[in-house]
Amino acid sequence: MKRISAAVALTAAGALVISGCAAGGGDDTGDDSGLVEGSAITAAWNQAFYSMNGNTSFGNATANNNINYLTLDGFNYYNNTPELVENTSFGTYELVSEDPLTVTFTVAEDVTWSDGTPVDAADLMLNWAALSRALDTPDFSPDDFTDPDTGEFTESFPTDVVYFDSGATPESGMGLVSETPEVGEDGRSITMTFDQPFVDWDLVFTPPLPAHVVAKNALGIEDNEEAKQALLDAIENEDAEALAPISSFWNSGFNFTELPDDPERYLATGPYMITDFVADEYITLKANPEYKGENAANIEEITIRFIPDPLAAVQALENGEVDIISPQATADIKTALDGIDGITVLTGLEGTYEHVDLQFDQGKNSQNIFSNAQAREAFMKVIPRQEIVDTLIKPIIGDDAILRDSQLFVPGAEGYDEAAADNTSANFAEVDIEGAKALLAESGITDTSVCILYASNNPRRVNEFALIQASAAQAGFNVTDCGSEEWGGLLGTPGAYDASLFGWQSTSLGVTNSLPTFVTGGINNMNFYSNERVDEIITELNGTFDAETQIELQVEMDRLLWEDFYGVTIFQFPSVTAYSDRVENIDPSIIAPTIFWNAWDWAVTDGGSEE
């Protein structure tokens, strides 16, 4: 018998990650029955994993962070309420002083990597160096050393510069910790002093990568403890000669599309560890025997198959080849799932939104078309936002399918209605061909080609691209196809495209964590946008603890983004998760990592292994 849930409400959400697809919400549940030996299930996702470092501009994608969430432990995570949960079995954090803002992060005793090496201050210090970029070579830009076909750094990348590709800026987050932290006497803690107050100080630490592995590879050291000490020395002495190869390995050493020969490149601290990985086919996770935390796995083995075509994912579920799917929702998907018995279907809205960004600089067009404000406004006028919603989204969720009219606020969240009324999104609710023609003529642009980057193996995106292309042609734009299956790694690559069509997925409820999308030089600033007042607002938000003032600042910022013709938001994602009756405790969150947030609680109902 099939069970179908009702749609869920959305709450405001913060930090953003490049989205593939995600799921709807539910209630917090748990299962402390313990590991069932021999138990195994298979889930499906629409994009292949390619990096264990989700903190780089290249690796910051849902496809990666789903896996990293289960294999790399951290100080906190979000449940599906959603609310922040302090993961004290990994470590704790303490506010030492409010003025100056000083905090101590401490790794719990007996926390180790899956090779048995203790997690300690060296791992935390590497995380600080990478996420603050306080030790980077000043004024270095990687733009000339980025492959436009892959988005990765080229072999010609200078070997004598310190550059951590985290996108950190001095005005926000860990970038506000410009002084080198102090290592505690216990060897498991560091104390950081912020340059100014920062409202989301408890969210600055993401799960660390193994310092001993980075240092061994970067510095040619074989012993784990010697490697960690060498890394600490390099950081504390600001040794640029040693930090250059350290930053280089941190940037790219954890990128891989199949199981590496060196097992140290995929060590784990979380409840699961990678044990098998076949390019473009699947990745297998097994319960980590070294994990001693509170979120111990119930199921011994989880295999995640990469199935880009959502209808193929539905077919795999019906055939019993996979147990859990969370494909990008379409009308065809809904119809197909309605015809399957023996499954549970959860539907609703989620914390991901579709949008089109325009490249303010370094586009593919010979005249860098969207450096011109009139050309940007003209193109926004021809994006058929309402037609996209009516054609592709309403057949799935009916009247819940609405235009999203804010770059910062989720529909229904406090501040959304005020922002939508204050900004100029209404000017782009309907297509205006004649207005676009006039603006394009006034712009002086003669090369009207616009190459759009999108996921070429995603049916909904293919349809969106076609609708935009047809509409834009009526105003004189020549929209060309920059679609790619490797679209995520290409975002932000100079010269690769002129506009991008993708989704931002919320990963946090923090006030400040969506701001790296819009701050000059931020990790999520893929379109080279820069506005001095927006940067000022972001700096103000970093230290603003009053909720009413936070909303006022964000409303002003939202208005500026629309007035700058940043790009358009289109819709909030509809979600669908379906799973077979042989699994239970599938209870998605509206924010990342959606279905995977409680994968350690998943259980096989028959207690057996998958055939």
Which position has the higher pLDDT, 23 or 42? 42
221 and 370 part of one domain: no
Report the C-alpha gap between 398 and 340 in whole angstroms.
21
Q: Are residues 244 and 362 in the same domain?
A: no
Whether residue 225 is found in the same domain as residue 374? no
Q: Stretch 519-527: mean pLDDT, rounded?
A: 90
- Inside any domain, residue 440: yes
Pairing outcome for strands 343-358 and 3-4: parallel
Lowest mean pLDDT among 115-124, 148-157, 490-499: 148-157
Given a cut of 60, whether residue 610 has pLDDT beyond it is: no
My answer on whether 375 and 497 are in the same domain is yes
Name the domain count of the chain: 2
Rounded to whole angstroms, the Cα distance separating 299 from 296 reads 9
Q: What is the pLDDT of residue 19?
A: 64
Q: Are 99 and 246 in a shared domain? A: yes
Return d(Cα 55, Cα 251) in angstroms, integer. 9
> What is the average pLDDT score of the chain?
91
Identify whether residues 244 and 359 lie together within a single domain. no
Q: Where are the alpha helices (DSSP H) in 54-194?
A: 62-71, 121-132
Specify the CATH number for the domain of residue 89. Answer: 3.90.76.10
Mean pLDDT of 601-610: 71
Q: How confident is the model at residue 18, as a pLDDT?
A: 65
* Predicted confidence (pLDDT) at residue 547 exceeds the cutoff of 60: yes
576 in a domain, yes or no? no
pLDDT attached to residue 398: 81
The per-residue pLDDT for range 449-486, each reduced to its tens digit, is: 999 999 998 889 999 999 999 999 999 999 999 999 98
Which of 252, 282, 317 terminates a domain? The answer is 252
Over 50: is that where the pLDDT of 21 sits? Answer: no
Rounded average pLDDT over 4-10: 35
Inside any domain, residue 23: no
- Give the confidence band of 20 by pLDDT, cuts at 50, 70, 90: low
What's the rounded mean pLDDT across residues 85-95?
98
Give dist(CA 240, CA 371) in Å, integer. Answer: 36
Name the token pair of 191. Answer: 């104390």
Taking residues 211-240, report their average pLDDT.
98
Q: Do 247 and 372 sit in the same domain of this protein?
A: no
Lowest mean pLDDT among 112-116, 237-241, 245-249, 332-336: 332-336
Q: Is residue 558 domain-shared with residue 440, that is, in the same domain?
A: yes
CB 380 within 8 A of CB 366: no
> Are residue 239 and residue 367 in the same domain, yes or no?
no
pLDDT tens profile 379-415: 999 999 999 999 999 888 788 788 999 999 888 888 9
| Lowest-confidence segment of 75-84, 182-191, 336-345, 501-510 by average pLDDT | 501-510
Letter for the amino acid at 263?
P
Domain that holds residue 437: 354-382+423-502+509-569
Name 247's Cβ contacts closer than 8 Å, sequence gap at least 6. Answer: 129, 130, 136, 162, 163, 164
Q: Closest Cα to residue 570, out of 475, 481, 489, 454?
A: 454
Using DSSP's 3-state secondary structure scheme, residue 476 falls into coil
Rounded CA gap, 292 and 540, in Å?
A: 40
pLDDT digits (tens, 9 = 90+) for 529-538: 999 999 999 9
Residues 240 and 114 in one domain: yes
CB atoms within 10 A of CB 213: 26
What does the pLDDT look like over 320-376, one tens digit per residue?
999 999 998 888 898 899 999 999 999 877 888 999 999 999 999 999 999 999 999
Q: Band of the pLDDT at 3, cuts 50, 70, 90? A: very low
Q: Residue 305: inside a domain, yes or no? A: no
The reported pLDDT for the residue numbered 82 is 84
pLDDT value for 17: 63
pLDDT at res. 402: 87
Helix (H, G, I), strand (E, B) or coil at 518: coil
Which residue is listed with tokens 């501040």?
415
Check residue 229 and give its pLDDT: 98
Give yes or no for a contact between 22 and 575, defined as CB atoms under 8 angstroms apart.
yes
Do 429 and 546 lie in one domain? The reply is yes
Q: If 0-12 CB within 10 Å is exposed, 13-18 middle and 19+ buried, where does residue 76 land?
A: middle
The CB density around residue 309, as the number of other CB atoms within 10 Å, is: 15
CATH of the domain at 522: 3.10.105.10
Residue 315 belongs to some domain of the structure:
no
For residue 185, name the pLDDT band (cuts at 50, 70, 90): very high
Inside any domain, residue 166: yes
- Establish if 233 belongs to a structural domain: yes
Q: Is residue 140 part of a domain?
A: yes
Would you mind telling me the total number of residues written for the chain in this entry? 611
Residue-level pLDDT at 484: 95
